[in-house]
Each structure stands twice: as structure tokens, then as C-alpha cells.
Amino acid sequence: MLKECLQHGYFRQETCPVCAQPGRFLMNDRELDHLGRVMTGVLRHFPEKYGLTIDEHGWISLPALVKAISSQHRGYHWLRAHHLVAIAQSDPKGRYEVRDDRIRATYGHTVEVALDLPTENIPDELYFPVTADEASIVLEVGLKPTDRRKVHLSRTAEDARAAGAVRTPEPVILTIDTKGARSEGIVIMQAGKTVFLADHVPPAYLRRHAGSATPAA
């Protein structure tokens, strides 16, 4: 469920993690899950299905998004802008950004956007999961976007392994020398709490992570 503590903000559990007070109820788990999926879909993939337009940096008006969702899903007649803000600010992965009366997804886009995200304080190494069959090819040609507009890199090997487990039970983890890549002009942006974006990563900055087994020939 999603709740609000007037002192410490939004949270997704029974009581506020800071003061242990019950807080104000905003929505149940089913509503939270469904609205999160709708928001992600609109902000990343299909704004036109809701009669909306994303600007060049990925932003959509919060009031317009609220109106569009409540119009297409009559069960959300109660929806207000603060409900979407609550979903965004309590998201454990940091998938959204709210600024004034606008909201956007910070990564995962299939629509064309020019994200202006932070490029400072990037870790010297990041990680990326591939299948065993892909590993040798990627190490030879580098990382390029496939079904998304950007290459999505993970903060830790464990984060990359969790992301890769969606595609294969035992992903091979690659280490990205982001310090070296950035020194050569490769732009890397921080998009979420554990996700970083790049247009591409040349093979010179990739190596197999020490914890990844070498696939059988």
C-alpha cells in the first residue's frame, strides 16, 4: 500500500519507516501496481494512447496526466496529482522524476527523448548482464541499444544480475570501465538509484566480471 507521513513523506508499508506512525492512506497494492504500470507505459512508450505528448526531454504535465488516466480508467475518479507524485517519490528504483508540475520517466524509453540527467559522480565501474551466447559478441563489438533508446548499466554486479535474470537464469556479468570511457568522451548519465545510461560502450571498456563463469565452448 501507499501512505503519506505528514512529517517524512510517502512510503510503501504499514507504518512510516522513520517515525513508525501509521500515516495517511493513499491507495492499496492493486491500485499502486496498476497505476505504476500505466504511468510507466505512458511516460516511456505510448503517450499518444492517452492523448498526451512528451516534450523533447521526456516531460509530461502532471495535471494533464491525471486527467488522461482518470478519463480512460473510470475507477480512478479520485485520482489527483499528489497520488502520482507519491508513486514517483516512493518508487524504490527511482524510475521517475517530478519537477514543479511535470513528471517524466528517467529511463527505459522506447520513444525518442533527449534526457538531460546528471553526469557527475558516476562510479568508476558499472555492470551489464548478457546471456552466455551474447558474451563473446558483445566483448568484441561493444554495447549498443536494442529494444530501448539507451544502454542501461547497473550500479552493482548484483543489480545487473537481477536485471539479467529476466532473460536468462544465469546471466554473464560484464564490467564497464566507466572512468576510462568517460575520459574518452563517452557520456554516462545517472537515471535512477541503480541505473545509468549511455548511448553506447565501445569494447575497449568492457571485460568479463570476475564473478562470472566462462561459458562452455
Q: Is residue 135 part of a domain?
A: yes
213 in a domain, yes or no?
no
Sign of CA dihedral 34, 39, 41, 42: positive
Alpha carbons 68 and 50: distance in angstroms, whole number: 6
Contact 173, 211 (CB under 8 A): yes
> d(Cα 203, Cα 180) in Å, to the nearest integer?
12
Total domains, the chain: 2
User: 57, 75, 105 — which closes off a domain?
Assistant: 105
Domain assignment present for residue 116? The answer is no
Residue 12 domain flag: yes
pLDDT digits (tens, 9 = 90+) for 73-86: 989 999 999 999 99
Q: How confident is the model at residue 148 (pLDDT cuts 50, 70, 90)?
A: confident
Can you give the pLDDT at residue 8? Answer: 96
Is 120 within the bounds of a domain?
A: no
What pTM does this model have? Answer: 0.83
- Residues of the domain holding 13: 2-105
133 and 180 co-located in one domain: yes
Which CATH number fits the domain that encloses residue 83?
Answer: 1.10.10.970
pLDDT band at 212 (very low <50, low <70, confident <90, very high): low
pLDDT band for position 211 (cuts 50, 70, 90): low
pLDDT at 214 over 60: no
Are the CB atoms for 176 and 127 separated by under 8 Å?
yes
* CATH code of the domain containing 192: 3.20.170.30
